[in-house]
Amino acid sequence: MQLDYSEKISNDSPTPKYLQVANLIMENIEKGKLKIGDRIPSINETSFDLLLSRDTVEKAYNELRERGIISSVRGKGYYISSTIKLEHKMRVVLLFNKLSSYKKLIYYSIINSLGSKATVDLYIHHYNRNLLQELLEQKIGNYSQYVLAPHFFDQNGHPEDAYDIIKNIPKEKLLIIDRAVKGFENEFPGVYQDFKKDIFEALESGIQHLKKYKRLILVFPKGELYPVEIMEGFKRFCFFHDFKNLIVDGVDDDEPLVMGDCYVVLAESDLVNLIKKSRDQLLELGKELGIISYNDTPLKEILSQGITTISTDFEQMGKTIANQILGIDDRTPVKNPFRMILRKSL
């Protein structure tokens, strides 16, 4: 029997290609296009049809054989031997705004937490509400759960909520992740960051260390589509605690750093530039110059003897979503933990 190849294998997906092949065959079973006793294409045929190496397809078939989904008959080929293991298996689709290193942490946390209880597909909408609409209408089938990161900007870089599109996804199937839908924060279950409140409270937790600096500078890059609420929370903190402050869109290569300043940086490139410039000017981090980096990584723990970060817990975010998918946790809006991790640079 010919497989449905309408969904091709993606080169951009973090899901290994052999698992994409295995998922494709299981989707054909779930849709009723393959039944017990049906023969599936040979390894060579599938390799040719999907433009994949024979080893990749063979690994996919071995995966399905280990799960008891297919069996081989010597000299005849591969056949569907069981569909029982698919009856209660959920199909989950992740609709992310981008595939950054942080989104990958969330992705792997979700699939590790779900384990064998669900198949997970990933699509990227690139902050574009029209692309989300297209994905929902044309490319995405009937999933049991939709997990959406509702970050959207128009062509001029202004935030959009896309509520008119999101509300059309069945509520019992929809979970939001990473941010709430602005103006409808309590309508959709899932797990989110409160960017404005998070940065305010994280900076407050380190206020005794911040007081030794004369000025706080937020480096908020232009055109990078960061949540504007980060800037709003920074301004609010500086106002309430009477900090001199400045918001810039980058670290100027020709502009010297000023002793007594403390920088809050979002982009990794600005972080690297600040560290280089501080070394060139012989400014000691944590005493003469402060640096706080947004979003924690293992590298920041050891970079320049430790970079202070303010960060959400991306692995916890993935676990929370997985628990809501599986029904372990109630399906309610949950704010993800966010904290300052104090290191030498402050």
Residue 3 in domain: no
Q: Taking the complete model, does pTM exceed 0.85, yes or no?
A: no
**Domain check: are 111 and 158 in the same one?**
yes
Any idea what the CATH number is for the domain that residue 51 is in? 1.10.10.10
Q: How many domains does the chain have?
A: 3
Q: Which of 51, 86, 121 is the C-terminal boundary of a domain?
A: 86
**Domain check: are 229 and 161 in the same one?**
no
**Domain check: are 221 and 119 in the same one?**
no
Residue 180 in domain: yes
Secondary structure (DSSP) of 240-287: HTT--EEEESS--TTSPP-TTEEEEE-SHHHHHHHHHHHHHTTPPBTT
**Domain check: are 202 and 248 in the same one?**
yes
**Domain check: are 202 and 287 in the same one?**
yes
Per-residue pLDDT in tens (0 to 9) along the chain, 346 residues: 556 655 567 777 656 788 888 888 888 887 788 888 889 999 999 888 888 899 999 998 988 888 788 898 888 889 888 765 555 568 899 999 998 889 999 999 999 999 888 889 899 999 999 999 988 887 666 788 999 999 999 888 888 889 999 998 888 889 999 999 988 888 999 999 999 999 999 999 999 999 999 999 999 998 788 999 999 999 999 999 999 999 999 998 888 999 999 999 999 999 999 999 999 999 999 999 999 999 999 899 999 999 999 999 999 999 999 999 988 888 999 999 999 999 999 9
Residue 342 in domain: no
Domain containing residue 39: 17-86
Question: Tokens representing 342?
Answer: 């104090």
Residue 130 in domain: yes
**Domain check: are 121 and 179 in the same one?**
yes
Is the Cβ–Cβ distance between 115 and 295 less than 8 Å? no
123-145: b (≥16 Cβ within 10 Å) or e = bbbebbbebbeebbeeebeebeb
**Domain check: are 319 and 265 in the same one?**
no
**Domain check: are 212 and 308 in the same one?**
yes
